[in-house]
Every structure is written in structure tokens, then in C-alpha cells.
């Protein structure tokens, strides 16, 4: 992929964030999501790629745009797979809570796992956990191993877990081991990425969340040199059949980072909608609105933070850069 595409994709997530952010705290998660989808889809048409949506808003009969299999982009340039979440954290923006983002991952064709919309068991750490963590080991053993590898005491480790009933026993085990816990209500992409970023205070993410979000997070983990293990958790025969139809024939196999994101050239792009650990949310001013984004590329190991000021009265013309 051409490096010049990185900033083009930043424009895509910026557009989604600017559109959705205006409904922050208004209790309308569906309305905010639709604004983000419309803005992201429109902006993608201006990017010189031959893109295929492999993770998006659902199947063709479930979503009018950004559906799985949709062809997007200007139709020239690199053929790429695209995983999108125009609004990661719909409940977060509806309540005005921290951590909502517009996010996407881009890789050469067939390099992103076409993860079905089902649960995925995950464990994620920064570089200290590479070759150290194991999804099949008890959480206490993983914490002990990570503490040793990172030179910390277990009591100094912070673990992010989605606050769900299914995680109650896991939370009890983490507490019994002595680690600190940060419970989140929604949106596990940003916390997964935060495990790999110094200064966030997050050492591990663990538990079951969405499989599509897991693949998007894996793109950032690969860019940042972190570690991730995962396992799909289908519920019922319908999800099992869908998984088999997508070529995933070993549902109980632990997926390594290279299974989730193949190769060494993937982009991860995100723009903050509400304030979070890594990104500031959208700021709307009288003349300019401000966005805060990050773009990462695994091939070079480059991480760029982009602060952009958008003139509020600028004309938005479909298909043209503004």
C-alpha cells in the first residue's frame, strides 16, 4: 500500500467522527451511528483504492452501505481489504461517555480475517507479553508471567475487562491474583490498543467481546508490536455454519496475531469522537471544529497523531478533496 494513502484514510475517520459527534449525549445511538456510516461511506469514494469491505455494518441484506462484500473506493490503485467501525461505542456516544471512536483497518487483499459477527475470546498485551501469554492458561498464571516479563509486581498491573455478567468469575480471579481492574461498559478496541502504548496505564485486556472489533484491534496491535491471542465463540448452529462458510474450519483453535492480520503491511486509523485514553474527542468551535486522530503502519512502525482544524463553513463536495 502506498504510504500516501494513510492521510487519505485519516480524512475518512475524521468525517465519521465530525458527523457522529454532534449527537454526543443525546441518547440517539442509532442516529449517531447512521451519521457516521453515511459520512465514512461518502468519503471512502474519494480514496484511490479498489476496496472490499470484509468487516462492516453487516451482510448486504442487513445494511444499505458498508456491508460485507461491498466494493468501495475510486476503483483505481491498490486492491485492499477494509474493516470499518464508523462508530465504535454507540452506547458511549449516546451517554456522552469516554472512548467512542471512528476506526478502520486496511490491508492488502485477503490479509484480514473475515470475522463473523459473533463473540471472540481475547487476551491482549503490549510487547512485554509477546511469547508470554496463553489464552488457555488461568488468568492468574498469565498475570504472573506478564508481571515477570514487564518487571512489575502483579499488584501494579491494570487489566481492562468489559463489565458483563459473563465475566464475573474472570473478574473475581483477577482480583484474587492481586491485579488492578478497569471495568468498561462498551467499546474494547481502544483499550486493546492502549495495552501497547506507554503512559496509558493499561497492561492487559481480557475477556469476550465482538469478533469484528477483535480483528480491527489486531491491526493496531501488529503495528505497535504487541501480543494478542483469540478464539471465536459461536453460539448455536447458525453462527457455526456462517463461520464455516467464511472458511474458518477450526472453531476451537487459538488464533495468533498473524491469523487475524496476515503479512507486515497493515494500516490502523482512528479518530476520537468522545475523549479517551489515546484520543481527544471532537471539539466544535464557532469557526473551526477540531479532531484528534492516530494513523499507524506496521511496515514502517510509524505512529502519527494528527490534530486537524476543519472550517465549519467549508463546502463538502462528494468526490472532491476539501
- Per cent of the chain over pLDDT 90 is 84
pLDDT of residue 167: 97
Q: What confidence tier does 163 reach under pLDDT thresholds 50, 70, 90? A: very high
316 domain residue, yes or no: no
Output the CA torsion 298→78→244→254 (10° steps). Answer: -10
Tell me, yes or no, if the pTM score tops 0.95.
Answer: no
321 domain residue, yes or no: no
Q: 227 to each of 88, 181, 204, 219, how far by Cα in Å? A: 22, 19, 10, 11
318 domain residue, yes or no: no
Q: What is the spatial distance between Cα 189 and Cα 144, in angstroms, rounded to a whole number?
A: 24
User: Residue 91: helix, strand or coil by DSSP?
Assistant: helix
DSSP track, 117-177: SSEEEEEEE-GGGTTT--TTS-HHHHHHHHHHHHT--GGG-EEEEE--GGGHHHHHHHHHH
Residue with cell 473506493: 73
Q: Per-residue pLDDT averaged across 155-177, rounded?
A: 98
Let me know whether 49 and 86 are in one domain. yes
- 51 and 9 Cβ atoms separated by less than 8 Å: no
CATH number, residue 194: 3.40.190.90
317 domain residue, yes or no: no
46: containing domain? 5-109+266-311
Q: What is the spatial distance between Cα 262 and Cα 106, in angstroms, rounded to a whole number?
A: 11
Q: Per-residue pLDDT averaged across 211-217, rounded?
A: 96
Q: What is the spatial distance between Cα 87 and Cα 272, in angstroms, rounded to a whole number?
A: 10
pLDDT of residue 316: 55
Q: Which of 171, 213, 167 is nearest to 193 (CA)?
A: 213
The DSSP letter of residue 22 is G
Please give the helix or strand (H or E) that residue 68 lies within, else none. Answer: none
Let me know whether 97 and 170 are in one domain. no
For 275-318, the pLDDT digits (tens) are: 998 999 999 999 999 999 999 999 999 999 999 999 998 765 44
Let me know whether 252 and 302 are in one domain. no
Judged against a pLDDT cut of 80, whether residue 320 lies above it is answered with no
- Secondary structure tally for the chain: helices H, strands E: 9, 13
Judged against a pLDDT cut of 70, whether residue 75 lies above it is answered with yes
pLDDT of residue 319: 45
Count of domains for the chain? 2
pLDDT of residue 3: 67
Contacts of 121 (CB under 8 A, 6+ apart): 135, 207, 208, 230, 231, 232, 233
C-alpha 49, offset from chain centre: 21
Let me know whether 38 and 136 are in one domain. no
Let me know whether 255 and 276 are in one domain. no
Q: Which of 63, 114, 155 is nearest to 244 (CA)?
A: 114
Q: What is the spatial distance between Cα 244 and Cα 241, in angstroms, rounded to a whole number?
A: 5
Let me know whether 142 and 222 are in one domain. yes
The neighbouring-strand residues paired with 229 are: 123
320 domain residue, yes or no: no
For 18-64, the pLDDT digits (tens) are: 999 999 999 999 999 999 999 999 999 999 999 999 999 987 777 88
Q: What confidence tier does 2 reach under pLDDT thresholds 50, 70, 90? A: low
Contacts of 109 (CB under 8 A, 6+ apart): 52, 79, 80, 81
Amino acid at each position: 500500500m502506498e504510504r500516501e494513502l494513510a492521510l487519505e484514510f485519516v480524512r475518512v475517520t475524521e468525517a465519521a467522527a465530525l458527523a457522529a459527534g454532534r449527537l454526543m449525549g443525546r441518547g440517539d445511538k442509532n442516529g449517531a451511528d447512521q451519521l457516521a456510516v453515511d459520512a465514512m461511506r461518502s468519503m471512502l469514494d474519494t480514496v484511490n483504492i479498489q476496496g472490499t469491505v470484509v468487516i462492516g455494518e453487516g451482510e448486504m441484506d442487513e445494511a444499505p452501505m458498508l456491508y460485507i462484500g461491498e466494493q468501495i473506493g475510486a476503483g483505481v490503485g491498490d486492491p485492499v481489504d477494509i474493516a470499518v467501525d464508523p462508530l465504535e461505542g454507540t452506547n458511549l456516544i449516546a451517554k456522552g461517555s469516554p472512548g467512542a471512536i471512528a476506526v478502520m483497518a486496511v490491508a492488502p487483499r485477503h490479509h484480514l480475517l473475515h470475522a463473523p459477527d459473533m463473540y471472540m475470546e481475547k487476551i491482549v498485551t503490549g510487547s512485554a507479553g509477546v511469547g508470554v501469554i496463553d489464552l488457555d492458561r488461568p488468568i492468574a498464571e498469565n498475570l504472573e508471567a506478564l508481571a515477570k516479563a514487564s518487571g512489575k509486581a502483579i499488584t501494579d498491573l491494570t487489566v481492562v475487562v468489559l463489565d458483563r455478567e459473563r465475566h464475573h468469575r474472570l473478574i473475581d480471579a483477577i482480583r484474587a491474583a492481586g491485579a488492578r481492574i478497569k471495568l468498561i461498559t462498551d467499546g474494547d478496541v481502544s483499550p486493546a490498543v492502549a495495552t501497547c502504548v506507554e503512559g496509558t496505564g493499561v497492561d492487559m485486556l481480557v475477556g469476550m467481546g465482538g469478533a469484528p472489533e477483535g480483528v480491527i484491534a489486531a491491526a493496531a496491535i501488529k503495528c505497535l508490536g504487541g501480543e494478542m491471542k483469540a478464539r471465536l465463540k459461536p453460539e448455536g448452529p447458525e453462527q457455526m455454519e456462517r463461520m464455516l462458510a467464511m472458511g474458518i474450519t477450526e472453531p476451537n483453535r487459538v488464533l495468533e496475531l498473524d491469523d487475524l492480520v496476515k503479512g507486515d503491511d497493515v494500516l490502523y486509523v482512528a479518530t476520537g469522537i468522545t475523549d479517551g485514553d489515546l484520543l481527544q474527542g471532537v471539539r466544535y468551535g464557532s469557526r473551526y471544529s477540531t479532531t484528534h486522530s492516530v494513523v499507524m503502519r506496521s511496515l514502517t512502525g510509524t505512529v502519527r497523531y494528527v490534530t486537524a482544524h476543519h472550517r465549519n463553513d467549508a463546502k463538502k463536495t462528494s468526490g472532491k478533496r476539501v
